[in-house]
Amino acid sequence: MSEAVKELIDIVIKLRSDNGCDWDRKQTSESLTPHLIEEANEVVDAVLEKNSENLKEELGDLLLHVVFQAVIASEKKTFEFEDVVQQINEKLIKRHPHIFDKNYDGKDLSNAKNWELIKKSEKNRESILDGMPKSLSALIVAQRYQDKTGAVGFEWENFSQAMDKVDEELKELKQAINNNDLNNIEEEIGDLLITIVNLARFFDISADLALRKTNQKFYRRFNFIEKIVQKNNQKIEDISLKELLNYWEKAKHEEK
């Protein structure tokens, strides 16, 4: 390990000591999980903002939580930080036999197929779909499911077939709406969403990141409207939809 990483570990150990910080000392693996999730999402935000300085800082915050979890495990004498690093090293080598194993002869298998099948075997899982973290968003789970099944051949041959499936699901949603069947409407919305996620895969687009970017864009544009309304000494709830849409178009034009 580098001296900087060793120093980080020593800092966390000191913070956890009897003469350390009250907050750090009372933390458990479980109590830290909300902060861990928050820091991971802040890393994603920094990536989307293309802010290298912020990304460097957020990666440090995330690394702190990795070290924090490892230090707590060390206190329990279950494993050390070095074990974490060694295990991921071994896993990467084992799951890329086409790169690291000179005697590997499975040239007919794709890298993704190797990875998914090896994981299933290693974990003794019933399905290659098993093992998804429960805390992941449904959008990410949908894309990862299709990544996994696509790796073993269960996917459309091209984006045109995926697009046809989107059109098919949209028609079924319209029919459910015409029938005023709320249960079926919910089901068809889910089917439409997962087919759109699948379509994104054909262009190597993360559906989750795409939606995050759209959420950011929506925020910017609506906040632009709010500022105009405030500048005109108006109340947004008193403005007609037509006028709000005009402001929206102005917001779009300002972004260009």
% the chain with pLDDT above 90: 66
DSSP assignment of 100-128, as one string?
Answer: H-TT---TTS-HHHHHHHHHHHHHT-SST
Residue 110 pLDDT grade (very low, low, confident, very high; cuts 50, 70, 90): low
Which positions ≥6 away from 114 have C-beta within 8 Å? 95, 96, 97, 98, 106
Q: What is the pTM of this model?
A: 0.64
Residue bearing the bigger pLDDT, 125 or 90? 90
Q: How far apart are the first and last CA of the chain?
A: 47
Q: How many CB atoms lie within 10 A of CB 4?
A: 7
Q: Is residue 196 pLDDT above 60, yes or no?
A: yes
Instruction: Kindly list the domain boundaries of the chain, sorted by start residue.
Output: 3-93, 156-205, 209-255
Residue 133 pLDDT grade (very low, low, confident, very high; cuts 50, 70, 90): confident
- Third-level CATH fold of 3-93: Helix Hairpins (1.10.287)
* CA–CA distance, 29 with 196 (Å, rounded to integer): 37
Residue 109 pLDDT grade (very low, low, confident, very high; cuts 50, 70, 90): low
Token digits for 170?
Answer: 């949209």
Q: Is 224 within 8 Å of 247 (Cβ atoms)?
A: yes
Q: Tell me the per-residue pLDDT of 59-90, one tens digit each, with 9 for 90 and over.
A: 999 999 999 999 999 999 999 999 999 999 99
% the chain with pLDDT above 70: 95
Amino acid at position 63, single letter: L
* CA–CA distance, 250 with 231 (Å, rounded to integer): 15
